[in-house]
Structure 1
Amino acid sequence: MKAVIQNLIVILALASVSACSSWVYRIDIPQGNFLEQKDIDKLRIAMTKEQVKYVLGSPVAKNAFDDDTWHYFYALRGGRGNDFEKQLIVEFKDDKLADIKGDFAKSDNFNTPLDI
């Protein structure tokens, strides 16, 4: 009888410790370039690479074999499991902005160069 009570106490103690894991604070872990639509709206076709870098910052990744494609990626690993990801691919032709793809919309003015 005494062994059964001891086993029951051990089982209850283990169950209560495992239940506490939901109380542990887990931090959010951001990685990459945080971009907002208002930043993307500043991009215009035929911008130079320096102008794009000024608006968006340095890309997370550049293709080692193709310097005309830049990748901007942002991921937030939430401590409570609320993950968030966004990406933007910027393409250049002759060192001028040619196109953007990804999780952001092009602005209505994207196809209007800055000098016009």
Structure 2
Amino acid sequence: MKYKSIIVAVVTTLFLSGCTDWIYRIDVPQGNFLQEKSVKQLRIKMTKEQVIYVLGRPVVQDSFDHDTWYYVYEMKRGMSKRGEDFRKELIIHFEDEKVASVTGDFELSEDFNTPLDQ
């Protein structure tokens, strides 16, 4: 009798573990989704207002350094068959209220070092 209840518990556990993909889990995107074409519009010496027009407001502004903006996008997949989790970020540094440098996971355009006024 003791073995019968153990076998029933093991078999039930095995059957239920096969049902894990039946539950729908949503993807959870967080942050600023940036398109490549928007990032390629960035130019050196753009003002903060121009950057906001092109990319939108940043998710994170450094409280102690107002000249550094962080655009962060993170995707947590609900189900593994839809792909892997990923994170992308773009960090913009300003000097005298104008773009000085851009780093992160995006490719900048070839014209990045050419200011808009020229």
TM-score exceeds 0.5: yes
1: CA distance, partners of 2:44 / 2:2: 77
Alignment of 1:30-45 (within 5 A): 30-45=29-44
The amino acid across from 2:116 in the alignment is: L
- Tell me the residue number matched to 1:101: 103
Q: How big is the shift at 1:112?
A: 1.0
Alignment of 1:1-116 (within 5 A): 2-81=1-80, 82-116=84-118
CA RMSD of aligned residues (A): 1.3
Count of matched residue positions in the alignment of Structure 1 and Structure 2 = 115
Give structure 1 regions of 4+ aligned residues with deviation exceeding 2 angstroms: 2-7
Could you list the runs of 5+ residues in structure 1 that have no partner in the other structure? none
> What is the TM-score normalised by the length of structure 2?
0.90
> What is the TM-score normalised by the length of structure 1?
0.91
Q: Secondary structure at the match of 1:67?
A: coil
Farther off after superposition, 7-16 or 83-92: 7-16
Q: How big is the shift at 1:28?
A: 0.5
Q: How big is the shift at 1:37?
A: 1.4
